[in-house]
Amino acid sequence: MSVSGDAAAGEGNSPKMRVIRVGTRKSQLARIQTDSVVAVLKDLYPGLQFEIIAMSTTGDKILDTALSKIGEKSLFTKELEYALEKNEVDLVVHSLKDLPTVLPPAFTIGAVCKRESPYDAVIFHPKYAGQNLGTLPEKSVVGTSSLRRAAQLQRKFPHLEFKSIRGNLNTRLRKLDEQQEFSAIILAAAGLQRMGWQSRVGQLLYPEECLYAVGQGALGVEVRSKDQEVLDLVGVLHDPETLLRCIAERAFLRHLEGGCSVPVAVHTVLKDGQLYLTGGVWSLDGSDSLKETMQTTINVLAQHEDGPEDDVQRVGITARNISQGAQMAAENLGINLANLLLNKGAKKILDVARQLNDAH
């Protein structure tokens, strides 16, 4: 994980010495992600101490139900936010894709760290090593916890069957290797990378095959929105490119009123001052879909100017040290693309998907 160039400048303004308590989920991946963020903060603020407090969340406890069926928007964040609210922790490190696009007013995402690969990865049962999804036998069962992946891939690989698989990464890999139920499972490439399991990846799914989840591959640091000291502390972790891409993605999802109970997916590219956002919605079986791309001009390097909009939250994110104009352009791109899809009938596709998901 890296920090934007201005980060080192923060050291001279280190807050007074104190212990910063960092909340995290208990899973091995969550701990690795949290440790990576804390390591950067320790380098930036050698005078501070950091204490990591791990806890279980609702999503960690309910393992026999598909995520899309549980109907709780903050499955992996609620208990951590409760600890933030009670002042038991000062900041929480999350996978950004777990954070809802609307946060409770008391909280904000104070940092969006540099994104790792946002793509999905396929891991095959040992007997199918060297294969890809296209060459798996007819009726092979592929495990995924995501309606988004299943909807897109069912359309592309109609000979496969997709089935929900839950549990942390270790549990899912064990289910794949030790049971004969799944021929392959699909996981976020970034998580596998952070766990050091890249060698298990048999196929990467690029955007032509499968658009990814909003915020996938990025880490978000959630803090109390009124805690000025901690906001300043973590603000240096913002990666401008990741931040702007994720603001566009989250604005798209928020305006569509999507969540994990409907298949919504994105792909963003920031190149030569242009931010490109591709977004799509699918029916549960992938047979009905809408996908469009829009772009906007964005000046990532524009100087930030202090002003009345300094504390504006955009889709739950506060970034005072990044140009407000660039942030606004990214947010508007997400809203405009969502409106385009809504005008083409996205609401009907999503409503039907939501109803069918609730009914099953």
Host domain of residue 274: 19-117+214-359
The predicted structure's pLDDT at residue 12: 44
The predicted structure's pLDDT at residue 59: 45
Of 205, 239, 273, the residue at which a domain comes to its end is 205
pLDDT tens across 189-210, in order? 999 999 999 999 999 999 999 9
Residues labelled as active-site residues: 98
Do 221 and 90 lie in a common domain? yes
Return the SS3 of 271.
Answer: strand
Pair of tokens at residue 200: 């298990």
Do 98 and 232 lie in a common domain? yes
DSSP state of 44: H
Do 81 and 137 lie in a common domain? no
For 356, other C-beta atoms within 10 Å of its C-beta total 13
The predicted structure's pLDDT at residue 16: 53
Write the DSSP assignment of 11-28 as a string of letters: GGGPPPS-EEEEEEESSH
Do 189 and 162 lie in a common domain? yes
The predicted structure's pLDDT at residue 26: 87
Which residues, in sequence order, are bridge partners of residue 94?
A: 220
What contacts 275, CB < 8 A, 6 or more positions away?
Answer: 244, 245, 248, 268, 269, 295, 296, 297, 298, 329, 330, 333
Do 73 and 84 lie in a common domain? yes
* pTM of the predicted protein model: 0.89
CATH number for 285: 3.30.160.40
Of 152, 171, 205, the residue at which a domain comes to its end is 205
The predicted structure's pLDDT at residue 86: 92
The predicted structure's pLDDT at residue 246: 98
Structural domain count, the chain: 2
For residues 239 and 4, is the Cβ–Cβ distance under 8 A? Answer: yes
Question: Which amino acid, 231?
Answer: L
Of 205, 232, 266, the residue at which a domain comes to its end is 205
CATH number for 127: 3.40.190.10
The predicted structure's pLDDT at residue 343: 97
The predicted structure's pLDDT at residue 306: 58
The predicted structure's pLDDT at residue 79: 82
Which stretches of the chain score pLDDT less than 50? Answer: 1-15, 59-75
Do 112 and 134 lie in a common domain? no
Q: Closest Cα to residue 108, out of 319, 328, 323?
A: 319
The predicted structure's pLDDT at residue 76: 56
The predicted structure's pLDDT at residue 356: 85
